[in-house]
Amino acid sequence: MANMIPYSRMTPHERELEYQEVRAEYELLKERGLKLNMARGKPGKEQLDMVSGIFERMLTPEEYLSDGEDVRNYGELAGLPAARRLFADILGCKPEQVFVGGNASLQLMYDTITKAFTHGLLHSERPWHKEGMLRWLCPAPGYDRHFRITADFGFEMINIPMTPTGPDMDIIEEAVKDPSVKGIWCVPKYSNPDGIIYSEETIHRLADLKPAAPDFLIMWDNAYVVHEFDGEYIPFPDMLSICQQHGHPDMVIEFASTSKITLPGAGVSCFACSEDNMSYLKRLLSVQAISFDKVNQQRHVLYLKNKENTLNLMRKHAEILRPKFKCVLDTLEREIAPLDIAEWNRPKGGYFVSLNAMPGTARRTLKLCRNAGVTMTPAGATFPYGLDPNDSNIRIAPSFPPLDELQQAGEVFCTCLKLAALKQLRSGPLPGRQNILPRSSEENKYKRNAPDFNKASGFTAPKEQKNY
Ligand SMILES: Cc1ncc(COP(=O)(O)O)c(C=O)c1O
């Protein structure tokens, strides 16, 4: 690249030359006929091979016993006591607050919302299906599958901007005064996709919320609680006891799983909650199941043993993941940083890099990627209804492809980012710096409009969700 100066500082003529050069580069990349995927946060093969020693457990009759009980038989709806102890150790709560379920925490989350609709939660005045309009707070960018659940149940989803310390608490404190606001999605450690760790202040303000709805629920999805890939494990406070301290022990249900510790889709999930919530939910769950897969729970207990051993395993995952994240971040630093057309986070854990491209260019960038054989998470997916108001946020998932593929995919992605930015600059006025990273300047706009932001921006839920 001849000119590594910000595009906004180039003359129109220089930009035109740059455009021709990047266009030619893009055509060459297209000719490679690539077929690469940076779309979903899946562990790579090397990680899966590394944990497949889990299948060497459960080979002797003694290994079918846990605390004297045969794990192969019915019983223990809330999970093997040993599995409850393991998750309590990892999450920092009490074993009796843990319910160990099946293979996916997402299913437990979906099930929780379903139960609120069919039966109501512990403090509900009526089942949610008997209520009128329901609203849900969605820190965004966020996890697309969370948004799909609340979209599916017909909530009006309210965008809550993320800040470097977690979701914007000023807006949340205002929004919960509305009794139709029933809950919030939270990924408190290494949020998906921003990789943000909620600050102590944010956590305490969440626990101290005074919602108008008596059954307001914090869905505390601690999916990345032990998932550092760069640097030491960062201990994280137990939200259950913090909510208890603030006098709201039943306002939170926490979720976690071993999907990215052992095997996604073949791991073990759990939820954790107050003892009162536990008795209530266990009663409902006892109608739907006699017990979950305790054989898999036992396999995990024998393999993971305790938090310390789990953290040792996570250090091995980190060895594999760190170079992949470094590869993506180094490419962005080299190719994009000097041009000032995007900004991105530099996470130390989790599974994603979240990038904000020049507003109005995310869709175009990803279409260019697709046409050059690189699949990425669709633009907009990190926002409720798949609608990013700035068409800016792009989620990069570096975990799955091998390093050499990642290198190529990174190159294609950067070329597409440049091309989309140059096209945008060709057709519109020069963006000032405020247009480049929308987050901080846009926050004020969100603040003014929240919680009516969705209405103000004309959001409507599409009939059918596409692209997921
Ligand atoms: C924030 C978050 N929660 C939950 C999940 C899925 O977890 P599980 O496999 O336990 O359903 C993911 C997977 O990417 C995730 O990013």
Q: What is the pLDDT of residues 240-251, one digit of tens each?
A: 999 999 999 999
Q: What is the domain-level CATH number for residue 123?
A: 3.40.640.10
Tokens of 430: 């020069």
User: Where a domain ends, among 272, 288, 307?
Assistant: 307
Q: Are strands 374-376 and 353-357 parallel, antiparallel or unpaired?
A: unpaired
What range defines the domain where residue 377 resides? 7-48+312-454
Q: Are residues 241 and 354 in the same domain?
A: no
Query: How far, in Å, from the CA of 422 to the mean position of ligand 1?
Result: 36
User: Where a domain ends, among 307, 330, 363?
Assistant: 307
Q: Are residues 139 and 287 in the same domain?
A: yes
> What is the tens place of the pLDDT at every residue in 442-451?
333 333 233 3
Could you read off the pLDDT tens digit of each residue along the chain, which spans 468 residues?
455 899 999 999 999 999 999 999 999 999 999 999 999 899 999 999 999 999 999 999 999 999 999 999 999 999 999 999 999 999 999 999 999 999 999 999 999 999 999 999 999 999 999 999 999 999 999 999 999 999 999 999 999 999 999 999 999 999 999 999 999 999 999 999 999 999 999 999 999 999 999 999 999 999 999 999 999 999 999 999 999 999 999 999 999 999 999 999 999 999 999 999 999 999 999 999 999 999 999 999 999 999 999 999 999 999 999 999 999 999 999 999 999 999 999 999 999 999 999 999 999 999 999 999 999 999 999 999 999 999 999 999 999 999 999 999 999 999 999 999 999 998 865 444 333 333 333 333 333 233 333 343 333 333 333 222
Q: Are residues 39 and 60 in the same domain?
A: no
Query: Does residue 1 lie in a domain region?
Result: no
Ligand 1 proximity of 249 Cβ (cutoff 6 Å): no
Q: Count of domains in the chain? A: 2
Query: Does residue 203 lie in a domain region?
Result: yes
Residue 116 near residue 281 (C-beta atoms within 8 A): no
Ligand 1 proximity of 365 Cβ (cutoff 6 Å): no
In the sheet with 135-140, reading across from the earlier edge strand, the strands are 98-100, 269-272, 252-257, 217-221, 181-186, 135-140, 156-163, 166-167
Query: How far, in Å, from the CA of 28 to the mean position of ligand 1?
Result: 37
Q: Are residues 62 and 199 in the same domain?
A: yes
Q: What is the domain-level CATH number for residue 326?
A: 3.90.1150.10
Query: How far, in Å, from the CA of 105 to the mean position of ligand 1?
Result: 7
Q: Are residues 291 and 348 in the same domain?
A: no
Atom in ligand 1 nearest the alpha carbon of residue 187: 1
Query: Does residue 62 lie in a domain region?
Result: yes
Q: Minimal CA–CA distance to 392: which of 415, 370, 424? A: 424
Q: Are residues 296 and 405 in the same domain?
A: no
Ligand 1 proximity of 259 Cβ (cutoff 6 Å): yes
Q: Are residues 186 and 58 in the same domain?
A: yes
DSSP E strand stretches across 17-155: 36-38, 65-66, 69-70, 98-100, 135-140
Other Cβ atoms closer than 10 A to 373 = 17
Distance (Å, whole) CA 383 – CA 394: 10
Residue 228 near residue 234 (C-beta atoms within 8 A): yes
Q: Are residues 215 and 320 in the same domain?
A: no
Q: Are residues 414 and 353 in the same domain?
A: yes
Task: Write the CB contacts of 406 (distance below 8 Å, at least 6 apart in sequence).
Answer: 38, 324, 327, 328, 398
Q: Minimal CA–CA distance to 38: which of 282, 456, 394? A: 394
Residue 183 near residue 136 (C-beta atoms within 8 A): yes
Query: How far, in Å, from the CA of 106 to the mean position of ligand 1?
Result: 6
For atom 2 of ligand 1, which residue has the closest CA? Answer: 223
Query: How far, in Å, from the CA of 439 to the mean position of ligand 1?
Result: 25
Q: Are residues 33 and 92 in the same domain?
A: no
Q: Are residues 103 and 27 in the same domain?
A: no
By most ligand atoms within 8 Å of CB, the mutation choice from 191, 254, 257 for ligand 1 is: 257
Q: Are residues 293 and 318 in the same domain?
A: no
For atom 16 of ligand 1, which residue has the closest CA? Answer: 192
Distance (Å, whole) CA 185 – CA 147: 8
User: Where a domain ends, among 283, 307, 331?
Assistant: 307
